[in-house]
Amino acid sequence: MAGAGKGGKSGGSAAVLGKGTRGAGGGPGLGLWLGLAALVIVLDQLTKTLVIASFTLGDSQRVTDFFNLVRVHNTGAAFSFLAGASGWQRWFFVGLGLAASAFIVWMIRSHPTQKLFCFAVTMIMGGALGNVIDRLLHGHVVDFLQFRFAILEPLFPGGYFPSFNIADSAITLGAACVILDEILRVRRAGR
């Protein structure tokens, strides 16, 4: 179909890749952002699968003086918030993650030229959906990255920061980028 003229369908990879990769305002399109969110989800689920296959619940493998690989199950939210609840929190966090993701897709469509903003909310969406998958498959989120810093001892027993995963890291990166985007927006508006 290389000879397709104006108005014809080329069927080539450029036409397939081009669809959805550019927004109406010239910024990256929804397809790129959804692909990036999917990459976060795949990396998150792959690492969790490796941890589940290699560690039993409660196992810990020291990597450095300040970093361990562990296997922890979190039925709550960040820092085990609501982990002691009777089970309703599983479905609450699943619904919250799905609703937030739908809202994020709407925000990306509404602000296609704001690259940093779209990147930020894409990271949040990818991380949220990664943890939603855990809650649906396992009834809890699998955490496996554990850091220890002496300076944290007044806040956390032994200086161990609560364990987390790739999805949590993506959410944190996204939140930091939302803050940075807002700071930059305010600065531009002040000029």
Q: Which residues carry out catalysis? A: 143, 168
Nearest to 137 by CA among 34, 41, 35: 41
Sign of the CA dihedral with 39 first, then 43, 45, and 49 last? positive
d(CA 123, CA 159): 28
- CB-based burial of residue 32 (10 Å sphere; 0-12 exposed, 13-18 middle, 19+ buried)? buried
Distances (CA, A) of 121 to 106, 128, 133, 134: 11, 10, 18, 20
The 10 Å Cβ neighbour count of residue 131 is: 29
- DSSP E strands in the chain: the ranges are 60-62, 67-74, 141-147
**How many CA atoms does the CB half-sphere of 63 hold within 13 Å?**
11
Torsion, Cα 97 99 100 102, to 10 degrees, reads 120
**How many CA atoms does the CB half-sphere of 88 hold within 13 Å?**
2
